[in-house]
A = this chain, B = another copy of it.
Amino acid sequence: MARPSRTDLAVLGALSVQPMSGYAVRAAITETLGHFWSESFGQIYPALARLEAAGLVRAAADGRTSGRVFEITDDGLARLRALLAEPDEPAPPRNGLLLRLFFGRLLGPEVCRGLVRDVRARAEASLSTYAALRREVEAEPDAGNRAYFLVTVAAGEHGARAQLAWADEALALLAAADDPGAH
């Protein structure tokens, strides 16, 4: 059997916090889950239709602007718990940067160093984003969720720091590769 839609999981999760329109679900996921999750409209609207047909989600009163506001039902909450409890099958790896670097000889050392420097810069930017996010989460009034939120922030921080350290090591390796003896 195919893997169940992870969009359903994310949408139900968003609606478990508060009722929202499809548009707002997208915004909530981008803002709050943005550093480890993303959804597109092309997935969200069909998902909401599926979920509504299955009785996991129900249209509440219309909001201020036009558009339907959905709320999660009891069945939906049960389904959310079930989906959360399912094992997470890690996605197959697909790292375009490493693919390029593996064939780096065709690209030349200088171009490769440029790629690595870009990653390094992005990792540094991420780190300050995460610092701000951490301060936000540490001020989170909902003590019951704080630790879970912090765990996701920590994942981002460790990942970004690892990229930084890797970039420096890679730059050193590629500087050595540059020596005129090669080829």
Contacts and interface: CB of A to CB of B under 8 A. Distances in A.
A159 B38 CA distance: 21
A109 B166 CA distance: 32
A166 B160 CA distance: 11
A18 interface: no
9 contacts: A36-B94, A36-B102, A38-B93, A84-B107, A88-B100, A89-B96, A98-B155, A105-B144, A150-B173
Interface of A: 6, 9-10, 13, 16, 33-38, 80-81, 84-85, 88-107, 109, 111-112, 115-116, 143-152, 154-155, 158-159, 161-163, 165-166, 169-170, 173-174, 176-177, 182-183
Contacts of A147: 104, 109, 173-174, 176-177
B81 A148 contact: no
Given A88-B97, A99-B33, A154 B170 contact: yes
A101 B152 contact: yes
A84 to B, nearest CB: 5
Label chain A's interface by main secondary structure. helix
Contacts of A103: 13, 16, 80, 84, 148
A158 B166 contact: yes
Number of copies of this chain in the oligomer? 2
A13 B101 CA distance: 11
B182 A154 contact: no
Given A101-B151, A105-B145, A165 B173 contact: no
A182 B163 CA distance: 35
A52 to B, nearest CB: 21
Given A95-B36, A107-B84, A107-B85, A154 B169 contact: yes
